[in-house]
Structure 1
C-alpha cells in the first residue's frame, strides 16, 4: 500500500505522474531509449522544454513580458541571482521565516539591504504587516509561504516597487496574479515536481539595468535567450514537472486546485482546533494552505503513542522541522483528501484513547 507522504520536500506527487515518469525512464515514447539518456538537444527533449514553459505560462496566465525558466541550483541559487540581476543601490526584504532570513543574508553579500519588517522575535508565527515600502528601493523581496513555521501571505503588497517572490512551497496552489511580480521562483520539489529543477518567472523589463558584467550562468538574459538550455538541463526533473503541470491542468488549473486545497486545510485545521490534545503554531489569519504545523499539548504523555499510530496508518513525513519540533503536515497539491482524512482519523483516535 502506498503511504501518505506529508514530507515538506521532496514531497508527494500524483500517482499517475510517477507512473508516467517511471515508464519514460524505461522507454521514452516507445522509441527504445530511456528519457534519461536522450540528448537535451534532441527534438524530443526540445518539445518537452517548450511545452513545460508554455504550459506554465498558461496556468499562471502570464503576459508577454514574463518568461518561464527552468534552472538548477534550487531556490538557494536564486537568493544570489536576484540581487545580481536587480540590485543597483538598495533592496528591501521582509523577514517572515527561515528561508526569507537566508535570502537576506545572501543578498547582503552583494549590496545594501533594508529589512522592512520581521516576525523573528515571535518565532515567525505570523506574517509581518503594516510596513512602509520605500519608493527608492530597487525591489521588494517577499516569501509567500513559510514552510518551516506554516504561515502564508494572503494579500500581497500594493506598490509601484518591483516585487520579487519566493514561492517555493505554494506556487500554483492558488489563483493569484503572477503578473504582479518582477520575479517569482520556486524549487520544484515541493509543489511542481522532483528535486533538481527550479522554476523562475522573470519580467524581462527589469533585466539588464544594474550595469554589472554578470557571469553567464547568473544572468537571466542568457537563460532567456537560450530558452533554459544555456547548459545541460535536468532532463528527468523538467519532464516530470511537465507531467505534473498537465495533471494540474486536468484539476482545473489553479482555480480548481485551490478549492481542493482549501477543503484539505480546513479539515486538518478544524481538527487541530477542536481536539484538546493538539494546538496550532501560528496566528490563524496567516495559516498556510500548504504546511500545517501543530504541537501535542502533552508530548511526554502522548508523543510515543501518537507517532506509532500515524506510522501504523501508512503515514510518513509529519515530523516538525528540526529547529521547531512538533509536527508538520505538508498538504501540497498532490496530497489526496483521503490522506488528510487518515491523519485526522488518527488524531481523533488518540483523543478517544487518552
Structure 2
C-alpha cells in the first residue's frame, strides 16, 4: 500500500523503518513468544528496553548526571499542573512567557495553584513571533516557556533568557529536532507523539535538585520524586509507547543524532518557506521570518475559498493533516523529524502547481 504524505500535527508521522521493526517483533519480542505489550513491566526483558531507552536519551541529548529522566503519563497537559504543584510555593510567583495557545494553557493551570505573572507575550500580534522583551527575576519560582508553537508556527531560535530561577520548557513539538543546550534548563517535558514516538508517554528531564522543592502533602503519583525514586516503574508505565520511543531514538542515532536531524529539518522547512516567499502573496505565512518554526509551517491563501480548495485538492492527492488548527484556520504542514524530505518535495510541487492554476 502506498504511504500517505503525513503532515498531521500529532499524533504524527513515525519513521517507516521504526514501524516495520515494530511490525516484525509484534507477536514475538526477543524470542519471548509474546508481544512487548504483553510483557510484565517487572520482567527482565522489559526492563532492558526501559533502561536502554533512558540511556539513549542521555546519549543523544547529552544529559549530565545531575538530571533524572522520567517516563510519565497524562501528556504535556498533566505537566501544566504538576509543575506548579511541585515547584510553586506560597509567597512565590511563577513566570510564564506566552508564545501561543499551549503556553496559555500552561499558565491557566498554574493560576489555579498559585501566583503567576506574564514575563513576555506576543499575543497582541496573534503570536506571529517569539517575544523578544522578556521580564524575568532571579526570585521567580520558575520561568516557563514553550519552545515550539504548533498552532502558530513559531519557534525559539535561541533561548535568550538569563535568570538564576529554574528555566522550564515544554518541548513537546521540537525535542530532538536539533541539538539542545540542556544545562540551561532545570526541567524539560515533552509528549512523545510528535517527534519521539506514539502518544501515551511523556518524557521529563529534570535536575535532581528540584526534588527538594516538592511539598510533602502532594498525592503520591503527582510527585516527581515518586517516579525518580522508582526509575519510572512505581506503577505500570506505558510499555509499548516506551518500546516505540526506544526504536525512534535508535533511528535518530542512525541518522546523525540531533545534528543530522537538524540539517534534515532545515532542508525540509526551506522547501516550503521558499514557495511561500516566492509566491508574491499567493501564500501568506503566519510567522515572522526570524521566528519561523522548522516543525510547523503555517500559512493562509488569499481567501477562505482558496484555502478550502487547496485543502480539498491536497487531500485528493494523498496529503494528510494540512488543515490549520481549528482555533486559527488556514493551513499547516507539520514536518516533524519522521516526515520525509520526499513528502516535503511533493507538497512543494503541489503548492507551486496549485498557484499556477489559481492565480
Post-superposition shift, 1:205?
1.1
Matching of residue 189 in structure 1 with residue 193 in structure 2? yes
The alpha carbon displacement at 1:194 in A equals 0.1
What SS is found at the alignment partner of 1:221?
A: helix
How big is each residue's C-alpha offset from its partner over 1:243-286, in whole Å with a ceiling of 9 and x where there is no partner? 00000001111011001000111111010111232110011110
TM-score where L is the length of structure 2: 0.96
Match of 1:218 in 2: 222
Residue 233 of structure 1 pairs with residue 237 of structure 2: yes
1:57 and 1:118 map into 2 onto residues whose CA distance is 32
The question of 1:160 aligning with 2:164 is answered yes
Contact 1:192 1:245 (C-alpha < 8 Å) held by counterparts: yes
SS at match of 2:26: helix
**For the residues of structure 2 that align with 1:80 and 1:299, how far apart are their CA atoms?**
37
Q: How far 1:210 moved relative to its partner?
A: 4.3
Q: Distance in 2 between matches of 1:341 and 1:70?
A: 35
Shift, 1:304, TM fit: 4.4
In 1, Cα distance between equivalents of 2:311 and 2:295: 21
Between 153-162 and 138-147, the greater mean CA deviation after superposition: 153-162
- For the residues of structure 1 that align with 2:214 and 2:140, how far apart are their CA atoms? 13
Distance 2:74 2:171 in 1: 15
Q: Is the 8 A contact 2:140 2:165 kept in 1?
A: yes
Cα deviations by residue, 1:78-120 (Å, 9 ceiling, x for unpaired): 0111111111222111111101001001011111111112211
Check conservation: 2:307, 2:331, Cα contact below 8 A: no
- Distance in structure 2 (CA, Å) of the matches to 1:196 and 1:211: 27
Measured in 1, the distance between the counterparts of 2:24 and 2:203 equals 24
> Which one of the candidate residues 120, 128, 136 is aligned to 1:125?
128
Structure 2 regions of 5+ residues with no counterpart? none
Task: Give the secondary-structure state (helix, strand or coil) at the position aligned to 2:336.
Answer: coil
Contact 2:307–2:330 (8 Å) recurs in 1: no
Query: How much has 1:43 moved relative to structure 2?
Result: 0.5
More displaced 10-residue stretch of structure 1: 108-117 or 22-31: 22-31
Within 5 Å, give how 1:1-354 maps onto structure 2.
1-88=2-89, 89-156=92-159, 157-276=161-280, 277-300=282-305, 302-354=306-358
For the aligned residues, what is the CA RMSD? 1.2
Paired residues of 1:66 and 1:179 also in contact (CA < 8 A): no
Q: State the distance in 2 between where 1:186 and 1:286 align.
A: 21
Q: Deviations over 1:312-344 (max 9, x none)?
A: 332101100001111000000001101001111
| Structure 1 unaligned regions, length at least 5 | none
Deviation at 1:158, TM superposition (A): 2.3
Shift of 1:180: 1.5
Contact 1:309 / 1:346 at 8 angstroms: preserved in 2?
A: no
- 8 Å CA contact 2:192–2:199 kept in 1: the answer is yes
Is 2:276–2:284's contact at 8 Å kept on the other side of the alignment? Answer: yes
TM-superposed deviation, 1:21: 1.7
